[in-house]
Amino acid sequence: MPEILVPALSRLEDTARLLLDDPGFVNMYEEELTSWVGRPTALTHAPRLGEVWGGEIWLKREDLAHTGAHKINNAIGQALLAREMGAERVIAETGAGQHGVATAAACARLGLDCTVYMGSVDIERQAPNVERMRLLGARVEPVTSGDATLRAAINEALRDWVTRPETTYYLLGSAVGPHPYPWLVRELQSVIGREARAQMLERAGRLPDAAVACVGGGSNAIGLFHPLLDDPIDLIGVEAGGTSTELGHNAASIGLGAPGVLHGSFSLLLQDADGQIQETHSVSAGLDYPGVGPEHAWLAETGRARYESATDDEALAALDELGRCEGILPALESSHALVGTRRWLAANPGTTVLVGLSGRGDKDIDILRGLRR
């Protein structure tokens, strides 16, 4: 990280550590989660899909959270921090637009000025979310540099931040970037795994054999996995396999990447032999990032979690099956987790799987319509 951002990052860490332990702040956050986000989100049993795939499937329904994905858990938590820190403006990056919409909504809710950087390629393929951000009062800044997707948007947000580091709060949306973000985002997303664990015990009377989530930067996955780390549960992250395993045709940083430093964290990256970061491809804009949260790289290295990938076609097929069997249209990102679930049940028939259904598919309608033609 550039020296210019060191004071801002250490101020953020100090404040976050203080406030996340402060009962007053935690109450305020939990009140927003309950009355505005709509938590706890449902845990849905999926018996028809389970019959087809051969096991017990439980869906943790982050698609039912306000603004349609898990991103809101982090956005409202960090926006509260930004307000406490007296920030004059909030900036954010977005890929699929889900984090952008969540940030725009949280900033509107708290009366904070909001600017969202979004790659021009993503603006094209996630047009409904661009409109939603604007309706919520945010400025959307198109980013045409680099690959014009999520990673370019992060670069541009960082350039904005180094220009006004003292008055700006950078509301990063995934478990990536410089410390303290991977930690902070994990803390705010862990509500997913805490709720799901309690709901499984209450509804199914047992913990699942496996928990599966999609992984781009990995915020919903770490939110689901973290509270389950000490349980005897197989943890499976599913990366975007895109169209093939060739560099540039996928976003599978753990499966196909090498160690390196991008955006202030040391993790696994899709890069060439010279250390240049490579372009990625996934049908889901939200997984289109050439790196992964450092904690996932660590969980992969220690073997506590296992990571695999799902291709665009496999994800689309799984999306279709869930829609037809259970009347739930998942986001393209979350459909990758369903592919992991199907595979797990094929190998372990009759077992119980908890799926992190991170978001809803309404934003993907244009892409899906295009693919059907």
Return residues touching another protein (CB under 8 A). Answer: 1-4, 6-8, 145-146, 151, 155, 158-159, 162-166, 259-264, 269, 271, 273-278
Do residues 68 and 328 touch, judged by C-beta distance below 8 A? no
Q: SS3 string of 79-132?
A: HHHHHHCCCCEEEEEECCCHHHHHHHHHHHHHCCEEEEEEEHHHHHHCHHHHHH
DSSP 8-class letter at 279: P
Q: Which two tokens stand for residue 371?
A: 């693919």
Is 363 designated active site? Answer: no
Q: How far is the CB of 201 from another protein (least distance, A)?
A: 42
Dist. CA 269–CA 253, nearest whole Å? 5
Which candidate, 102, 98, 146, places its Cα nearest to that of 125? 98
Q: Of 32, 62, 93, 308, which one is the catalytic site residue?
A: 93
Do residues 151 and 72 touch, judged by C-beta distance below 8 A? no
Is 60 designated active site? Answer: no
Is 71 designated active site? Answer: yes
Q: How far is the CB of 17 from another protein (least distance, A)?
A: 17
Give the contacts of 141 (CB within 8 A, at least 6 positions apart). Answer: 115, 116, 117, 118, 156
Dist. CA 249–CA 50, nearest whole Å? 31
Amino acid at 135: L
Q: How far is the CB of 264 from another protein (least distance, A)?
A: 7
In the complex with another protein, the residue whose CB is nearer, 102 or 150, is: 150
Burial zone of 295 (CB within 10 Å; 0-12 exposed, 13-18 middle, 19+ buried): buried
In the complex with another protein, the residue whose CB is nearer, 260 or 293, is: 260
Q: Of 62, 71, 334, 363, which one is the catalytic site residue?
A: 71
In the complex with another protein, the residue whose CB is nearer, 35 or 163, is: 163
Which candidate, 248, 226, 220, places its Cα nearest to that of 330? 220
In the complex with another protein, the residue whose CB is nearer, 1 or 367, is: 1
Could you tell me where the DSSP H helices lie in the chain?
A: 6-19, 23-32, 47-53, 71-84, 98-110, 120-125, 127-135, 150-163, 181-189, 191-203, 219-225, 253-256, 294-302, 312-326, 332-347, 365-372
In the complex with another protein, the residue whose CB is nearer, 7 or 349, is: 7
Dist. CA 264–CA 67, nearest whole Å? 29
In the complex with another protein, the residue whose CB is nearer, 237 or 291, is: 291
Q: At what angle do helices 365-372 and 312-326 cross, to 10 degrees?
A: 110
Which candidate, 90, 139, 132, 135, places its Cα nearest to that of 118? 139
Dist. CA 371–CA 373, nearest whole Å? 5
DSSP 8-class letter at 33: I
In the complex with another protein, the residue whose CB is nearer, 3 or 21, is: 3
Mind telling me the catalytic residues? 71, 93, 358
